[in-house]
Chains A and B, each alone.
Chain A
């Protein structure tokens, strides 16, 4: 995917693939009607998100790039997992130990930036007295 330029919709549909490895150009109405495309084929791939992160960074928005890279990590998780993780980060939902456990599991599945965000949150929540250690 190196060498692709923004916008990807303009000339790169043959080169960009879904998480399931299908080319975007092949996600056609005919393929949908033939039952060849399922919801899993409609998930943006981590590689594409990293590419977009690069475009954002080149455009001067480092934080947007970081967000897109965290997004790339989160493509590995199911919708239900994401909803659960989000829930655990909300105020008063978890103990520090539980947040550390969440960070650890994120790390294990290649989501290091997200794990870092959770650890940072945990420290801040503890310092502000929002959560218990155990």
Chain B
């Protein structure tokens, strides 16, 4: 938008404000704190003061509420969630003193966890409210359960296409995801999705856990049949009303947890702040206090872990001041209870790219058992949970950010060819299983499209009733994971059959029922018991191996030296600068001397902007000629500094004026009476200099030479980031220049242009 005096509306506000209104951040709706609606991150005036009374080993008062008035959550936490042996010591501990213990690397994790077990939700919420964001991250680094961070993917698509799910599951595992979560737009599709994920998830490597997030009863049934290997959507809430609205109680959830255990299935609860405010029943309590209650219920029920950190309510939490600090505080709260933290970051929290990355980055630096409870491994439009905070579109960015900071982001880059091969195997294996089990038949075209697809918009449509019919058939025939094993083996997929069977065998062993358990690709179980977080300050805790560091460093955007210099080879020989003797001094008063750098047309043949050095030189010389001024060329071999090159040439020029040229395209006009590092005009941003501008520079140099006024030269307006694109290349080009530096005086050269 460009205003002239005649169009300015004096009442309309500034153009800057109008511009701000168009920014993505302006689409985010924020709210003032309102404790009455539960819209306060920490320390609502309605939060209770911490208190605990124990009589004969029985909790009779919890956070200001006497036993007779306990709601279901108080009651359940009082009966199961408080270590009454530790409680007197823990509750008597000064809150600030405990907060410092969380942060201090010299205080062992085990000691902090022991004390937290004797604390009430209000005590813990009050402690966490004292911490700054950096203190929270330091505490997370120490208190997360598993030493090795891991990551979960969302694998879904708009149409529940089984072959696409299988291909995407294989690709996700190839990238490093160790848990895959799917869900459905239509409940009847759930069994098909679970089966496709089970098969596809074991193609790229062994041991990825899979789940299908649906209504509790269906989710349990899929698990019982072995079609999923873990469950996560066992939701708990921080107020009684919302818990009941969710059609459960702490006891029914605890029973459900035991049902999963009875079949050897891994399970974690889900909470996450904001849910109670969204349901209009936050009782005026702060987001963190209610979340502390959820986590206390989770620990009390014996679930090994929690998915939290906003989750579906993250946009509520994000709308209040301090919301993002609250989100990492609730992740920390999980770890403080010695539970597996599956840390959210799974819901798009802003229209602003800056803001959504700012939400997720801090936790990545600190590390969690699962950095995401669903990184969208598929395009945002295919995410049946709704877009995640990061999606397939962002994976390359994520890998580069992982490389920048050196945190364990648990992902790795893979070649497209490798991914295509794995996607094909997964899609074909899935087709074979569906055929073998007489669930559906798919064409070669279906397979081919799913292999190369970015998302479901790239694959042929399925008959609308196909997937629900598959789901119903799976349920009616009592099909189990054992049938999938047989089908895979029958159709030649023995590796996958073995891997699916191994997941079933693991259910007999139960190792992955322990806290924070996952399998690595060698089927070693990493859990609280085999891979405990032993962070105790610098030099301790999780550190990447040299091999892993190399893997993290290897991203698609890395250019090898040969890649960076490829365009040099293409332009080689575009002009020859023949040395004809020592540089002459002041040959005529109406001349401009052009000084070129050591590697100009020797080893460097293309400037950064893509022009050949021949074109750069030709335009400068033509510009000088247009003004009726003579020119000569000298090579300045003793320096790569453009000021020094230009100044050396100026001192040889009869007019005192020169043009200095570095081979990468940086150019200036110099004059002998100026200090060496000054100039009359400078093109410092080589990639944006056009042939016309080089010609203009030549003209202006000639004008200075004959005492005329220069013409204004403006680089085209642009905010394109040039440093990220060119600086790595500049380092290579400057190294070439530096290698050719020789002491001695400038040399006269003659340009010989190829025919």
Contact = CB atoms under 8 A, between A and B. Distances in A.
Interface of A: 6-10, 12-13, 16, 18, 24, 27, 29, 32-33, 37-39, 42-45, 48-49, 51-52, 55-56, 59-68, 70-75, 77, 79, 82-83, 85-87, 89-91, 114, 117-118, 120-121, 124-125, 128, 130
A49 B513 CA distance: 9
B505 A60 contact: no
A121 B255 CA distance: 10
Contact of B302 (A8, A16, A68): A68
Contact of B251 (A6, A7, A118): A118
A16 B249 CA distance: 35
A71 B509 CA distance: 14
Interface string B670-686: 00000000000000000
B221 A83 contact: yes
A73 B263 CA distance: 11
A70 B251 CA distance: 12
B346 interface: no
B4 to A, nearest CB: 68
Interface stretch (B95-103, B287-295, B525-533): B525-533
A64 B515 contact: yes
Contact of A67 (B221, B302, B528): B302
A49 B251 CA distance: 20
Given A33-B486, A33-B489, A39-B482, A61 B515 contact: yes
Nearest to B240: A128
A83 B80 contact: no
Contact of A91 (B248, B513, B523): B248
B244 A91 contact: yes
Nearest to B260: A71
Interface stretch (B386-394, B494-502, B702-710): B494-502
A51 B529 CA distance: 14
Given A29-B497, A83-B221, A63 B80 contact: yes
A16 B252 contact: no
A33 B302 CA distance: 37
Given A43-B263, A86-B255, A130-B244, A52 B485 contact: no
B511 interface: yes
Given A9-B506, A59-B528, A71-B262, A29 B498 contact: yes
A106 to B, nearest CB: 10
Contact of B525 (A7, A29, A62, A67): A7
B302 A66 contact: yes
Given A32-B501, A39-B482, A118-B251, A86 B259 contact: yes
Contact of B252 (A32, A37, A74, A86): A86
Interface string B337-350: 01000000000000
B436 to A, nearest CB: 13
Contacts of B508: 16, 18, 24, 27, 42-45, 48
Interface string B246-271: 01110110111111111110000000
B695 interface: no
Interface string B403-423: 000000000000000000000
Interface stretch (B11-19, B34-42, B71-79, B174-182): B71-79
A9 B251 contact: no
